[in-house]
Amino acid sequence: MSVAVSAPGKVLLAGGYLVLDKNYSGLVFGLSARIHTVSTISASDTGVIVVRSPQFSNATWTYAVSFSENGISVEQVVDKNSSHNAFVEITIRYVLSYLSLSKILSSKITILADNDYYSQPTSTTPPQRFNNLNVPLSSAHKTGLGSSAALVTSLTACLLQTYSSAPLQLSASSDLTKIHNLSQAAHCAAQGKVGSGFDVAAAAFGSCVYHRFSPSILQALPETNAPGFSQELREAVDSSWDMRIEKTKIPKGVRVVMGDVDCGSSTPGMVKKVLAWWESEKEAAGKQWDELERANRGLIDLLAQLSEDSHDGVRKQILDIRKNIRAMGGATGVPIEPEEQTKLLDAASTGVPGVLGGVVPGAGGYDAVAFIIKDDEETITALKEFLAGWGDRKVKALETREEQEGVRAEQVEQYEGFGNYLRLT
């Protein structure tokens, strides 16, 4: 038996930092770039899960799974070529603990990432659907599309499909919610903290306006080796969470284009500084966040009813958001929209016809840029050419675009033949 699942990347177009507080909203779009997970069950062996990510070197992880009265044990089988992948290992441990099985058939799992997740090397080799980067996963340059959240969500859904007694219906809200909640739990454990969760929400549900869940839902979970962990995990995952998800989509006639700056920022460090400012300057910070929320909701409302006549309104709203973002950056000393990014966004927005505006998405910094543009070939071509010729650091327009759908089942056959990565027998 083989199972294939994919989950999308994300772009937080509006709501950076605000999504850390459940009183504020984030506008997050799922992206067509996906992380794909394919599992194949062994009919003759038990207790071993082998995971490989063949686009990278030394990216095979083998886990021995055992069961006892105290719960499940997942131990990596280490050899000289082994690396460690906390997101894979913890996801396996959380899903199997949630299912509370007494034994499992062995399985082989292949993880494939669409090319836009990583900066691609210049090469004369014709690109494949899943390019081989020939470097360790830790050395690959991410483009900021939310690879860890998409990986955990895709792997969670695939493992649930593989090992549940009854198959999931990924179109059913109850099963999507189960995948979401369990993915949030595993992703937070792998990160070592409870984040805002907007990236996992987009991976599970697709494009949405997101209000976070209360961190206490997951903070109360014990360590995986503690007595009763499986039961407490099930109770937390199956409980009713206080998050809000409003499905949304980019209206017809416009699209999102992501730009890979291939530089990178320390997002945790930036978030820590902003939260320290929030704690020490609550009155001023609250006013700033309320003003930014007003601007963000204005953009959300405009996109919900966008017409040709309202394009100027979108331009003005994006400029308003950026003005507030820079004000927050100035107050916190955090380069949320660095000067170099300001120059790039201004030049693209004024110099390329059809560009309605651009932002530094998510936590900001130097990771990426995102543009809302008219959805026609002339505008797309002009923006790509502009970005490719921008300054000393070239910016590459990625092929990915916004996509409404979240996690979904895939046809296994489509993955055969991609560099002999996947063998289903």
Q: Residue type at 178?
A: K
- In this prediction, residue 265 has a pLDDT band, given cuts at 50, 70 and 90, of low
- Separation CA 232–CA 222 (nearest Å): 8
Mean pLDDT calculated for residue range 130-137: 90
Q: What is the pLDDT of residue 420?
A: 45
Among residues 330, 238, 201, the alpha carbon closest in space to that of 277 is found at 330
Q: In what helix (H) or strand (E) does residue 161 lie, and over which residues does it extend?
A: helix 147-163
Answer whether residue 39 shows pLDDT above 90: yes
Answer whether residue 1 shows pLDDT above 50: yes
| Residue-by-residue DSSP string for 71-91 | EEEEEEE--TT----HHHHHH
Q: Residue type at 119?
A: S
Q: What is the pLDDT of residues 108-125, one digit of tens each?
A: 999 999 999 998 877 657
Q: What is the pLDDT of residue 418?
A: 61
- In this prediction, residue 366 has a pLDDT band, given cuts at 50, 70 and 90, of confident
Look at the domain 2-247+405-415 and name its fold.
Ribosomal Protein S5; domain 2 (3.30.230)
Count of Cβ atoms closer than 10 Å to residue 112 Cβ: 23
Distance of CA 32 to the CA centre of its chain: 12
Q: Which residues are CB-contacts of 401 (< 8 A; sequence separation ≥ 6)?
A: 31, 32, 255, 256, 257
Mean pLDDT calculated for residue range 312-327: 95
Answer whether residue 165 shows pLDDT above 60: yes
Mean pLDDT calculated for residue range 274-283: 92
Q: In what helix (H) or strand (E) does residue 198 lie, and over which residues does it extend?
A: helix 198-205
- Separation CA 96–CA 351 (nearest Å): 53
Do residues 65 and 48 touch, judged by C-beta distance below 8 A?
Answer: yes
Q: What is the pLDDT of residue 419?
A: 45
Q: Hey, what CATH class is 254-402 in?
A: alpha beta
Length of the chain counted residue by residue: 425
- In this prediction, residue 43 has a pLDDT band, given cuts at 50, 70 and 90, of confident
- In this prediction, residue 393 has a pLDDT band, given cuts at 50, 70 and 90, of low
Residue spans of alpha helices (H) in 239-375: 267-280, 282-304, 311-332, 339-351
Which letter, b or e, does each residue of 399-423 get, where b requires 16 or more Cβ atoms within 10 Å of its Cβ?
A: ebbbbebbbbbbebeebeebeebbe
- Separation CA 247–CA 210 (nearest Å): 9
Q: What is the pLDDT of residue 263?
A: 60
Of these ranges, 124-128, 307-311, 398-402, 419-423, the one predicted with the greatest mean pLDDT is: 398-402
Q: Residue type at 29?
A: F
Among residues 246, 247, 248, 244, the alpha carbon closest in space to that of 211 is found at 244
Answer whether residue 425 shows pLDDT above 80: no
pTM here is 0.94
- Name the CA radius of gyration of the chain, rounded: 22
Among residues 351, 349, 350, the alpha carbon closest in space to that of 359 is found at 349
3-state secondary structure of 396: strand
Do residues 60 and 80 touch, judged by C-beta distance below 8 A?
Answer: no
Answer whether residue 340 shows pLDDT above 60: yes
Q: What is the pLDDT of residue 66?
A: 94
Helices 311-332 and 267-280 sit at what angle, rounded to 10 degrees? 80
Q: Which two tokens stand for residue 263?
A: 């530089």
Higher pLDDT, 234 or 141: 234
Do strands 105-113 and 48-52 pair parallel, antiparallel, or not at all (unpaired)?
Answer: parallel
Count of Cβ atoms closer than 10 Å to residue 146 Cβ: 28
Q: What is the pLDDT of residue 91?
A: 98
Q: What is the pLDDT of residues 283-303, one digit of tens each?
A: 999 999 999 999 999 999 988
Q: What is the pLDDT of residue 421?
A: 47
Q: What is the pLDDT of residue 299?
A: 93
Answer whether residue 85 shows pLDDT above 50: yes
3-state secondary structure of 260: strand
Q: What is the pLDDT of residues 182-232, one digit of tens each?
A: 999 999 999 998 889 999 999 999 999 999 999 999 998 998 888 899 999
The domain spans of the chain are: 2-247+405-415, 254-402
Q: What is the pLDDT of residue 86?
A: 95
Do residues 411 and 422 touch, judged by C-beta distance below 8 A?
Answer: no
